[in-house]
Amino acid sequence: MKVFNKIIWVFIFTATLMSCEKKLTDLQPIDQIPADKAIQTMADLTTAVNGVYGTWSARRSIYISAGIADEIRLGVGTEYRNVGNALYNWQFVSDSQDWRDGETGGVWTNLYAVIDRANRVLELGAKVPTPSATDVSLKNQFFGEMLALRAMAHLELLRCFSITAEYNPTALGVVLQTTYVKTPATYRPARNTQKAIADQITADLLSAKSLIPATFNDIGRVTRNAVIGGQVRIALHTKDWQGVVDRTNEIVALQPLTNIAGYPAIWTTRTLAGQTTEVIWKLNVTASNTGATVGSLWQDANAAQQAAPAAKLMNTFNQVTDVRFSTFFKTSPRNLIAKYGFLPQAGETFIYDIKMMRTAEFVLARAEAYAELNNLPASDADLNLLRTNRITGYVHTPITSKTALIDAILLERYKELCYEGQRYFDLRRRSLPITRDVSDIGGIASSQTLPISDYHYILPIPFQELQANPNVGQNVGY
C-alpha cells in the first residue's frame, strides 16, 4: 500500500512537471502570425493581397532609369549630398549602394519580394474556403491580381538585369520564380533564359485576364485593363509587333487618351479616382508611406535639390504650346522636376500616387509596332493622335520614313514618359547608347556618352545576391 502511494505521488509529480513544461515552453508567438495560420479566411486573403501591393516600391525603377539615362542632371553645391553620383557617372560596381537591399535603387531585392509574396498568396490562399459565389469571384480576382503582379515584376527584372541589352530568347534573363521558396538556406537558383521568363509572363497575364472581372475598376490595383497593358509591354519587349497592335487596340477602346485640358490634373491631383483618365494603373501613396514618394528622390523636405531636369529633355519641348512642359517642369525659382510635386510650393509633401501605366505609353507602343510592321500611315496617325492631345494648336507634318518614324516615336516616349521608369529600357531594347547634353554633365566628360559596348550599360546583379547565390552568375564586366 505504501509503495502504491509512493507510485501515485511520483506519477502526480511527473504529470505536474510535464504539464508545467508544456505551458512554459509550448508558446505561440504574440507579435507574429505563424505562416501556416496567416492566410485562412477571405479576410486574411484580402490583407495578404494588400501586403503584396504595399511591397512594390515603384520609385526604385524610376530612380534607376532616370539616373543612368538622360532624364536628369545632378544637384550642385552644398545642398547636394552625392545622391545618385555613382549611378549617374557610370562608376557603379556590383555592391554600389544603388543595388543594395533597402536602398533607393534596390530593384532586384524589392521585386523578388513582390514575386515571393504573390506566390505565397497563390499557394497559401489556395486552401481558403469560399462559401459564397461572391467569395469565389473575389478569390479569382485576387489570384488574377497576384498572377499579374508576378508577371509585371518579372518583366521589370527582365528589363533591368538580362545579360543582353535587347531581348534575346536564348540568352540568360533572370531567375524565374513561380513558387515560394520553402528552404531559403539552401536555395541557390540559376538564371532562366529570357524566353522562359517571357513565356511565363505571357501565360500569367493570360490567366489573370480571365480571372479579373472587367467590372473591377480600382486603378490603385491591377484591373483587367492593366493586365492588357502588361500584355502590350511584354509584346513590345519581345518584339511581337502584332501583339502590341492587337492589345493596344483593346485598351485604347476601354481607356482612351486624356486630352490637353484634362492632362495637368493627372499630375497635380494627388489621388485619381476610377478609370476616368488615361491612368490605367497606379500605386497609391498616402501620408502613411511617404517613403515611397517619387518627388522626394529629386528634392528633400528641406528643398535641397539632388537632381534637376536634364537640359536635353527640357529642350525637346515647345515650352509654350506643349502642356507637358509646364506640367512636368518648373523654371522658377530654378529648374525643377515637377511631375510629382516640387519645393518651394505651399503644402507640398510629394504625396502623389505613382503612375504605373498610362494609355499614352501604349499609343506610342502601337505607333512603333505599326512602323515595324511597315504600316507607316497607321504609325504616323498614332503619333499625331498623341501630339494632338498634348500640344495646343498642333499641326502635324506626316512622317513617311520608317526610321524617321521610329526615331520620332522614341523621342516622343522620352518626352511623354520621362521620370516614369521607361527611358533606360527604351534605349536598351533598341541598343541605343546613352547620350547626354554637355550642359548636363557637370564638366565630367566621361559622363556624356555610354556606348552599349561599355559593361556599365547593363546593370550588375547585386553583390549581395551573388554572395549568397553564386549560381546566379554575374553580368559581363562586374
Partner 1 sequence: MRKLILTMLVALGFVLGATAQDRTITGRIVDEKGAPVQGVSVISSDNKNGTQTDANGNYRVVVSAKAKTLSFSSVNFETITRSIGSQAVINITISARNNKLEEVVVTGYTIKKKTEFTGAASKVSSKQIEQVPIASFEQILQGRAPGLYIASGSGQPGTAARVNIRGVGSISGGAGPLYILDGAPIEAGVFRSLNPNDFESVDVLKDAASAGQYGSRGANGVIILTSKKGKVGKTLLQYRGQIGYSQAPTLKNLQLMNTEQRLRYEGEFLGPAGVIGTGNATGYPGWDYSPNNPAFQAATPAQQANFTRLLDSTKQINTNWPDIFFRKGTFKQHELNASGGTEKLTFFTSLSAYQQEGIVIRSNLDRYTFRGNLDFKTDRLTASIRTNAGYSISKGIESESAVALANPIAAAYLELPYRQLYKAPNVIDTGAGKTAANAFDRSNTTTATSGQFKGGLAVTLQYDIWKGISFKTTNGVDYRNNNASRFIDPLQFAGYNLAANGRAGLYNESFVENVQFISTTGLVFKRTFNQKHQVNALAMSESIRNKARTFSATGYGINTNLPNTPAAITPGNATNNFIPAVGGSKFINGISSLFAIADYTYNKKYTFSTSIRRDVSSQVPDANKDIVMSTFGASWNIIEEGFMKKQNILQEARVRASYGESANIDGFTSEFGFIPGYGVGSYAGVSGIVPTSPGNPDYRIESQIITNIGFDVALWNRRIRITADAYKKESKNLFVNQGVSRTSGFNGLNVNAGAMENRGLDFSIAADVISKNDLLVTIGANGGFLKNEITSLGILTEIPQGTGIIKVGVPFGTHYTVGYLGVNPQSGLAVYQDINGNPTTDYSAANNRAEFGTYLPKFTGGANLDISWKGFDLGVLLSTAQGVYRFNNESFFYESTNGNVQFNKRTDLLTSWRNPGDRTEYQKVNTARQFSSKDIEDASFVRLRNVQAGYTFTTKNGKPIRSFRVWGQAQNLYTWTKWTGFDPEESNNIANYEFPNPKTFTVGVDINF
- Phi/psi at 459 (5° precision): -70, 150
* Binding of partner 1 by 407 (CB under 8 A): no
Which DSSP string do the residues of 118-175 spell out, in sequence order?
A: HHHHHHHGGG----SHHHHHHHHHHHHHHHHHHHHHHHHHHHHH-SSSS--TTSB---
The contact pattern for partner 1, residues 307-326, with x = CB under 8 A and - = no contact, is --------------------
Our CB check for partner 1 shows the closer of 302 and 397 to be 302
Find the binding residues for partner 1 in span 220-259 (CB under 8 A). 220
Residue 436: what residue type?
R
Least Å distance between CB 353 and partner 1?
8
- Residue 385: Cβ within 10 Å count: 19
Least Å distance between CB 388 and partner 1?
34
Pick one of 1, 3, 27, 133: the residue that binds partner 1 (CB under 8 A): 27
Give residues with Cβ within 8 angstroms of 63, minimum separation 6.
84, 104, 105, 297
Our CB check for partner 1 shows the closer of 80 and 394 to be 80
* Binding of partner 1 by 24 (CB under 8 A): yes
C-alpha to C-alpha distance for 225 and 212, rounded to whole angstroms: 9
Our CB check for partner 1 shows the closer of 303 and 320 to be 303
- All three cell numbers of 199, joined, read 513565356
Residue 324: what residue type?
R
* Binding of partner 1 by 438 (CB under 8 A): no
C-alpha to C-alpha distance for 478 and 474, rounded to whole angstroms: 7
Pick one of 4, 5, 32, 397: the residue that binds partner 1 (CB under 8 A): 32
| Long-range contacts of residues 126-134, Cβ cutoff 8 Å, at least 24 apart | 127/40, 128/39, 128/40, 128/41, 128/42, 128/44, 128/45, 129/41, 130/42
Our CB check for partner 1 shows the closer of 17 and 126 to be 17
* Binding of partner 1 by 115 (CB under 8 A): yes
Least Å distance between CB 455 and partner 1?
17
- Residue 30: Cβ within 10 Å count: 5
Least Å distance between CB 380 and partner 1?
40
- Residue 288: Cβ within 10 Å count: 10
* Binding of partner 1 by 177 (CB under 8 A): yes
Please tell me whether residue 187 adopts helix, strand or coil conformation. Answer: coil
* Binding of partner 1 by 44 (CB under 8 A): yes
* Binding of partner 1 by 166 (CB under 8 A): no
Q: Which residues bind partner 1 (CB under 8 A)?
A: 17, 20-21, 23-27, 29-36, 38, 44, 47-55, 93, 101, 108-109, 112-113, 115-117, 120, 175, 177, 180-181, 184-185, 187-189, 220, 283-290, 292, 301-302, 347, 349, 462, 464-465, 467-469, 472
